[in-house]
Amino acid sequence: MSTLHTVNKSPFEKSSLDACLTHVSGGANVLLLEDGVYAATKGTAVEQRVKEALDSVKLFVLGPDLLARGLSEERVIDGINVVDYAGFVDLAAENDKVQAWL
């Protein structure tokens, strides 16, 4: 069963992203939103961890949350797809369930 995992915490404040990434099976989709979007940017201390995750899961980041935080799409790690709220809805519909890592 495919799952859309959502992570809304900065990886520098909370362990949600790590908890998520250590519990996803191959082929899962992970959406970064709210303060979770900081994990999607290049040059951070968690960039390597995020890039490794891209080998087994698909990563998405919510564009409006990036822009709100002054982060342009150019700052996003290659391989992470930027989606809007409509794209979020599509992801939720395409996967069998949504699991929020609150």
Partner 1 sequence: MSETIKQFLYLNRKAPYGTIYAWESLEVVLIGAAFDQDVSLAFMDDGVYQLTKGQDTAGVGMKNFSATYAALGDYEVKKIYVEKESLAERGLSLDDLQHLVWEDEDDDWAEKDSIKLVSREEMTAVMDGADVVFSF
Partner 2 sequence: MKFAIQINEGPYQHQASDSAYFFTKAALEKGHEVFRVFFYHDGVNNASRLTTPPQDDRNVVARWAELAEQHDLDMVVCVAAAQRRGMVDEGEMQRNGKDATNIDPRFRISGLGQLVEAAIQSDRLVVFGD
Which spans of this chain sit near partner 1 (rule: CB under 8 A)? 1, 3, 15, 19, 22-25, 96-102
91 binds, among partner 2, partner 1, none (CB under 5 to 8 A by kind): none
DSSP-assigned beta bridge partners for residue 56: none
The values of phi and psi at residue 7, to 5°, are -125, 125
Degrees to nearest 5, angle at CA 96 with 5 and 50: 25
Cα 48 to chain centroid, rounded: 14
User: x/- string (CB under 8 A) for partner 2, residues 3-22?
Assistant: -----x--------------
Question: What count of Cα atoms within 13 Å lies in the side-chain half-sphere of residue 23?
Answer: 14
Shortest Å, Cβ 34 to partner 2: 5
State the residues that interact with partner 2 by CB under 8 A. Answer: 8, 33-35, 64, 84-86, 88-90, 92-93, 97-98, 100, 102
